[in-house]
Amino acid sequence: MRVKELAAWLKSSFEGDGDREIRRVAPLEDAGPEDLSFATRGRALKQAGASRAGCLLVPTDYANDSGRTIIRTADPRAAAARAILKIYPRIDPPPGIHPTAVLGPGTIIGYGASIGPMATIGVGVKVGSGSVIGAGCVIGDHVHIGASCTIHPRVMIYSEVVLGDEVVLHSGCVIGADGFGFVLTDGIYEKFPQVGRVEIGNRVEIGANSCVDRAALGVTSIGDGTKIDNLVHVGHNCRIGRHVVIAAQTGFSGGVIVEDYAVIGGQVGIGDKARIESRAVLGSGSGVLTSKIVRAGQVVWGTPARPLKECLEQMAVLSRMAKKKKPVASSQ
């Protein structure tokens, strides 16, 4: 793709050699004459001048003193993401049902959908048009999968799960397994039946080996546009809002509510029935206690999670106390 074609597709202006061919996207330090790279601010912008990239995506106010080939855009990182999709187009498997796939009675497969080798699909399943079910997936009874979804190989979806459109589930996901619900009766743990379901909205992406448990009663839900990293556990009856971002190795206990646009770092642990309000930010490694409320827009860190400024002040006090501590005299 030529620079001027890419700029037109991005609806942005370019400077320099519009006929230069761009074949790849690469980081600034590794990019060569046929590569596209991007710089947003700070150190990256300083490094941009020394990069060998054939074309750079840069902010609109970038000073192009060297006269190199650039494309100006309000958000270079977002433009790079769109450019990657253009330069590396997605290759879907051909539509149709592989001969080794097993389909239960009453299954409806939408136009242009693809069912991979050794996939097992239960009774009364609906697969939307253009969706892809990868090799070795197991889809339980009465599951609804929307249009243009991508279910990567070896995903397990239990019965009565509902997926919206354009959902992506990476390998090893388990959606709709029983929640962790037991009742101690006469010294013995008895299972509390998990008879709820899971509902996942449109354009949700869930990373490899993540688990979303069905509700004990009612619904475990994940809102439109939410992105979940690898190795995340969402417990029973959790309600995750729209456009939430959750990093790896985070765990949600039962009944947690996360409101829209919250950001949750890696290795965060959240106790039962905690509430994370809209646009709150939980720093990596935070621990949110049972029934705790993290207020809208608040940035918290530490265990127990508390406002970032307060957490840093307490850490500084502890550090000063440790420095002032006198060594214990030897008894010898």
| Band (332; pLDDT cuts 50, 70, 90) | low
pLDDT at 326 over 70: no
Question: Of 152, 170, 236, 243, which is the active-site residue?
Answer: 236
The 10s digit of each residue's pLDDT in 144-200 is 999 999 999 999 999 999 999 999 999 999 999 999 999 999 999 999 999 999 999
pLDDT at 50 over 60: yes
Domains of the chain in sequence order: 3-87 (3.40.1390.10), 173-309 (2.160.10.10)
142 is catalytic: no
Residue 78 pLDDT class (50, 70, 90 cuts):
very high
pLDDT at residue 331 greater than cutoff 60: no
Predicted confidence (pLDDT) at residue 63 exceeds the cutoff of 80: yes
228-239 pLDDT per residue, tens: 999 999 999 999
Confidence at 212, pLDDT banded by 50, 70, 90 = very high
Whether residue 209 is predicted with pLDDT greater than 60 in this model: the reply is: yes
3-state SS string for the chain: CEHHHHHHHHCCEEECCCCCECCEECCCCCCCCCEEEECCCHHHHHHHCCCCCCEEEECCCCCCCCCCCEEECCCHHHHHHHHHHHHCCCCCCCCEECCCCEECCCCEECCCCEECCCCEECCCCEECCCCEECCCCEECCCCEECCCCEECCCCEECCCCEECCCCEECCCCEEEECCCCEEEECCEEEECCCCCEEEECCCCEECCCCEEECCCCCEEEECCCCEECCCCEECCCCEECCCCEECCCCEECCCCEECCCCEECCCCEECCCCEECCCCEECCCCEECCCCEECCCCEEECCCCEEHHHHHHHHHHHHHHHHHCCCCCCCC
